[in-house]
Amino acid sequence: MSKKQLFVLSLCNLVLWTVRNGLLPLLPVYAARLGATPAVAGYYFSLSYLAVATGTVVAGWLSNKLQRRKKLLIVAGVVSIPIIWLMGRATNVWHLAVLTATLWFSGGIGVAVISILAGLFAEKAERGKVFGILTEEAFPPCSWLA
């Protein structure tokens, strides 16, 4: 795998990681401000994580079916932008839940497609290194370029 490919995949992974970790601590507070009880907040998060799991499964199927993995990754990213904006405009918990589930579904697609592309681009002998770099949460993603 070329350094350019690894850099781009790392950058995509960094964007997903940043959005996820930026929103995750705020979502229960936002849900509570919209009137969610603790039980409803639990259902809300359950729905969100079910959406991530579903997104990863669907991404594998779509990747195999369409054979257009890069475009699938781009579409998942572009679709996420208005969803995040709409989440900020949600007026009740159920709107927030549907939008969050949609965003997390898109994120699940993104994570799966990044892994699929890494597996396809990496040589057999370097796959461990590539997946190690992509799953490393101690960024900066450019540290391995030096």
The pLDDT value recorded for residue 134 is: 83
What single letter denotes the amino acid at residue 8?
A: V
In a domain, 94, yes or no: yes
* CA nearest neighbour of 55 among 15, 4, 82, 16: 16
pLDDT over threshold 90, residue 90: yes
In a domain, 30, yes or no: yes
Q: Structural domain tally of the chain? A: 1
The pLDDT value recorded for residue 98 is: 96
Write the pLDDT tens digit of every residue in 7-31: 899 899 989 989 998 999 999 999 9
In a domain, 117, yes or no: yes
In a domain, 144, yes or no: no
Residues in the chain: 146
In a domain, 62, yes or no: yes
In a domain, 146, yes or no: no
Question: What is the C-alpha separation between 1 and 140, in angstroms, rounded?
Answer: 19
Secondary-structure breakdown of the chain: helix, strand, coil percentages, each rounded to the nearest 5? 80, 0, 20
Q: pTM here?
A: 0.87
In a domain, 143, yes or no: no
Domain harbouring 111, CATH code: 1.20.1250.20
What average pLDDT does the segment 1-8 reach?
Answer: 88
Write the pLDDT tens digit of every residue in 44-83: 999 999 999 999 999 999 999 999 999 999 999 999 999 9
Provide the mean pLDDT of the chain. 90
Residue identified by tokens 């597996």 is 119
What count of Cα atoms within 13 Å lies in the side-chain half-sphere of residue 39? 0
In a domain, 52, yes or no: yes
Domain with 45 in it: 3-136
Write the pLDDT tens digit of every residue in 95-118: 999 999 999 999 999 999 999 999
The pLDDT value recorded for residue 146 is: 47
